[in-house]
């Protein structure tokens, strides 16, 4: 009986830990779609790119602390995101059928990023060191401090994001544009600049997620795709454009992932995610908290 309870505790804690990183990447994707109505197919590659940037800082400028690495990478990601909006998305938005065109263009961009990573870093996988060493023991379960730190940072980031969206002028403008892009434009919001910022913030969240995933798993040129798909499934379950939906869906799917991993094996994780997606679409295509 005791081991049974412990297994459930392990599954739950493992799920929340896995989910905490997923929250970050899903929040970035959801925010971007909510405000700009764009689905960025290069998101997975940007995530990997963030991890590789951190890897460069930590291993090439030897001795840089992990935390400083993160602080340096995030502004880089922000401007990269804004650059993508300015150079690729903005020229496309002015024409008809831009939705599909942006999807295709960002897919092309993902290919370029993947190949650049392959050219510069080679096909071998890289691992980032954990943020904090050491383990903690709670009631017989061994938990790494690092994963708790990730959970803490995720919560902090989500609180900052929430304050930004509800209390600052820019954040409120973003929510206004998310509700009605044309209306926002009429009342004098510079939507073009706002889209740039949103792209930047979303890329920062991707980069942060990439750095954390780089320590938990490893970095490989095409590794970001899996997390892009996972982020999408989380967003689909939570409801596209809904941040709190993404938060809850990330935890749910994190727990599903760790139980599948625990009960039938890691190979089944991706098929399980896919199955969840199909079930969501059949039962509730709007997602848990989706308005439309």
Question: Which positions touch other proteins (CB under 8 A)?
Answer: 39, 41, 88, 91-92, 95, 97, 99-101, 103-105, 107-112, 114-116, 118-119, 222, 225-226, 229, 232-233, 236, 240, 267-271, 273-274, 277-278, 281-282, 285
Cα–chain center distance at 60: 26
Number of Cβ atoms within 10 Å of the Cβ of 60 = 8
In the bound complex, what is the minimum distance in angstroms from residue 88's beta carbon to other proteins?
Answer: 6
- If you write DSSP's letter for every residue of 179-242 in order, what string do you get? H-HHHHHHTT--HHHHHHHHHHHHHHHHHHHHHHHHHHS-B-TTTHHHHHHHHHHHHHHH-TT-
Residue number, 45 or 203, with CB nearest to other proteins: 45
Cβ burial of 71 (10 Å; 0-12, 13-18, 19+) is: exposed
Residue number, 124 or 282, with CB nearest to other proteins: 282
Instruction: Quote the CA–CA distance of 212 and 222 in Å, as a whole number.
Output: 16
User: Which runs of consecutive H residues, i.e. helices, occur in 37-168?
Assistant: 43-60, 66-84, 90-93, 98-121, 145-167
In the bound complex, what is the minimum distance in angstroms from residue 40's beta carbon to other proteins?
Answer: 11
Half-sphere exposure of 272 (CA within 13 A, CB side): 18
> What pairing do the DSSP bridges indicate for beta strands 141-144 and 135-138?
antiparallel
CB 151 within 8 A of CB 17: yes
In the bound complex, what is the minimum distance in angstroms from residue 148's beta carbon to other proteins?
Answer: 30
Residue number, 35 or 236, with CB nearest to other proteins: 236
Sign of the alpha-carbon torsion through 87, 88, 89, 94:
positive
In the bound complex, what is the minimum distance in angstroms from residue 209's beta carbon to other proteins?
Answer: 18
In the bound complex, what is the minimum distance in angstroms from residue 195's beta carbon to other proteins?
Answer: 17
Angle 128-130-132 from CA coordinates, rounded to 5°: 155
In the bound complex, what is the minimum distance in angstroms from residue 92's beta carbon to other proteins?
Answer: 6
Residue number, 121 or 162, with CB nearest to other proteins: 121
Cα–chain center distance at 75: 16
Residue number, 85 or 131, with CB nearest to other proteins: 85
In the bound complex, what is the minimum distance in angstroms from residue 107's beta carbon to other proteins?
Answer: 7
Residue number, 69 or 245, with CB nearest to other proteins: 245
Residue number, 109 or 249, with CB nearest to other proteins: 109
């Amino acid at each position: 009986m005791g081991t049974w309870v412990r297994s459930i505790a392990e599954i739950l804690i493992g799920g929340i830990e896995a989910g905490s990183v997923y929250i970050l990447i899903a929040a970035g994707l959801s925010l971007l779609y909510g405000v700009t109505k764009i689905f960025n197919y290069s998101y997975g590659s940007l995530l990997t790119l963030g991890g590789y940037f951190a890897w460069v800082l930590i291993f090439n400028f030897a001795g840089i602390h992990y935390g400083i690495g993160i602080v340096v990478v995030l502004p880089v990601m922000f401007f990269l995101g804004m650059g993508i909006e300015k150079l690729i998305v903005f020229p496309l938005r002015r024409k008809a059928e831009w939705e599909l065109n942006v999807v295709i263009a960002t897919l092309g961009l993902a290919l370029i990023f993947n190949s650049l990573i392959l050219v510069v870093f080679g096909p071998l996988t890289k691992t980032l060191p954990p943020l904090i060493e050491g383990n903690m023991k709670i009631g017989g379960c061994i938990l790494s401090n690092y994963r708790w730190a990730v959970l803490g940072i995720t919560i902090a980031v989500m609180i900052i994001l929430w304050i930004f969206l509800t209390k600052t002028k820019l954040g409120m403008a973003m929510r206004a544009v998310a509700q009605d892009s044309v209306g926002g434009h009429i009342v004098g919001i510079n939507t073009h600049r706002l889209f740039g910022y949103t792209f930047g913030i979303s890329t920062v969240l991707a980069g942060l997620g990439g750095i954390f995933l780089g320590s938990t798993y490893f970095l490989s040129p095409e590794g970001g795709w899996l997390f892009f798909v996972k982020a999408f499934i989380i967003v689909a379950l939570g409801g596209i454009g809904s941040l709190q939906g993404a938060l809850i869906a990330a935890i749910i799917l994190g727990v599903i992932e760790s139980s599948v991993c625990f009960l039938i094996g890691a190979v089944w994780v991706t098929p399980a995610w896919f199955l969840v997606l199909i079930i969501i679409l059949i039962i509730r295509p709007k997602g848990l908290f989706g308005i439309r």
